[in-house]
Amino acid sequence: MVKIIKDFISTNYKNRPGNYMKPLYITVHNTANTKEGADAANHAAFVKRSSTAVSWHFTVDDKVIYQHLPLNENGWHVGDGRGTGNMKSIGIEICENADGNFEKAVENAQWLIRQLMHDQGIPLANVVPHKRWSGKQCPRKLLNRWDSFQAGIAVAHTNKKPTVKPTTAAPFKTAASKPAKKSYSLPTGILKVTKPLTKDQQ
């Protein structure tokens, strides 16, 4: 059980557009912010600034979870404009602050995802990395261990051991609709800048 603090973005801010959403996916991000103190509370303060253009639903650190948006409203977090990623997925940022325990933050996020999958009826196959939507190398610390990350969702904060299914490790298809290559890297030229930008694209 991880504490979830509801601390919603003000309804009159541009990063709380208020479009109705029925979540079909859960999108996982890393904050890419390793500064000391860049924890969930710090990101909650960031998204509540009137100047912030991006938003997502939860930020998870090694101790606590902040919720920034209701689950039936969209956020701007994957850089696909009004595509499925922004309009139909719950965005979760996992902190990587230098003064936090990243592996604990990961387990807290896995636990949260398990609750959300259950409550929203979302299958494990629809728990996806940010990369799925825009090609962005995010969550940068989990892409190279995505199978074990997914396997850990079932057992986070239990005493059970994860079971990793052997998979073919197919690379994620990206919005660029080019045939997926063995490597995760894509030519930078095909990454279109879409609005609204996510902070990950800056």
Contacts with Zn ion by CB under 5 A lie at 29, 130, 138, 200
Task: Name which of 111 and 133 has its Cβ closer to Zn ion.
Answer: 133
Residue with tokens 């500064």: 35
Q: Closest approach of Cβ 12 to Zn ion, in Å?
A: 25
> Is there a contact between 124 and 167 (Cβ–Cβ < 8 Å)?
no
Q: Closest approach of Cβ 102 to Zn ion, in Å?
A: 16
- Beta-carbon count within 10 A of 63 CB: 16
Sign of CA pseudo-dihedral 55, 78, 120, 93:
negative
Task: Name which of 82 and 140 has its Cβ closer to Zn ion.
Answer: 140
Q: Which two tokens stand for residue 19?
A: 């479009």
Q: Closest approach of Cβ 103 to Zn ion, in Å?
A: 19
Q: Closest approach of Cβ 91 to Zn ion, in Å?
A: 8
Task: Name which of 138 and 186 has its Cβ closer to Zn ion.
Answer: 138
Task: Name which of 16 and 130 has its Cβ closer to Zn ion.
Answer: 130
- Reference 39, options 90, 80, 89, 100; nearest CA is 100
- Reference 27, options 83, 78, 75; nearest CA is 78
